[in-house]
Amino acid sequence: MKVYLKQPFQAEQFDGSNEMIDKYELIDAGTMLGTHHSPELYLTGSGKVDGGDWIATGVNGEHWAVTGDVFKKTHAELPVVPHYVAEYINYMKSSYRDIWDAINYPFRSNNINKYMEDNSETFARAWLDGYQVEGHK
């Protein structure tokens, strides 16, 4: 699952897959030490990463690990929005618009209009606090 936060970083939950190990260039400490036990994976400069932990990525592409418990306490209550709402928020913010502009933008799609009519508070929370994308892993 990916989470988009108001702070300038994104986070992805580590699932232990080879794809994520390669993506984040995790280091297997067991291999480095010449042992063949189950791997202990480390994120360079950030410490050990276990399944269920989160890997955050900053605006400059830097990565750091956050334990699952800490991440849950800090970010688990973020609202869940459909992908098209996430795209709209990202578009508006990347265009240096504020929430007033997003609410009053005259060229929104019918999907966005309907979502904002039915979920205005969720939209505002997602804009201000960050969000999770519905069904996104």
DSSP SS3 for 80: strand
pLDDT value of residue 29: 63
Q: What is the pTM of this model?
A: 0.53
User: Are the beta carbons of 49 and 26 closer than 8 angstroms?
Assistant: yes
Measured between alpha carbons, how far is residue 25 from residues 41, 47, 54, 108, 115 in Å?
A: 10, 13, 14, 40, 39
DSSP SS3 for 68: helix
**In DSSP terms, which residues pair with 130 in a beta bridge?**
5
pLDDT value of residue 86: 94
The type of residue at 66 is: V
Tens-digit pLDDT string for the chain (137 aa): 666 555 556 788 888 888 888 888 888 765 444 444 445 777 776 678 888 888 888 877 888 888 888 887 776 678 999 999 999 999 999 999 999 999 999 999 999 999 999 999 999 999 988 888 987 65
The rounded distance, in Å, linking the Cα atoms of 103 and 99 is 6
Would you tell me how many other CB atoms lie within 10 Å of the CB of residue 8? 9
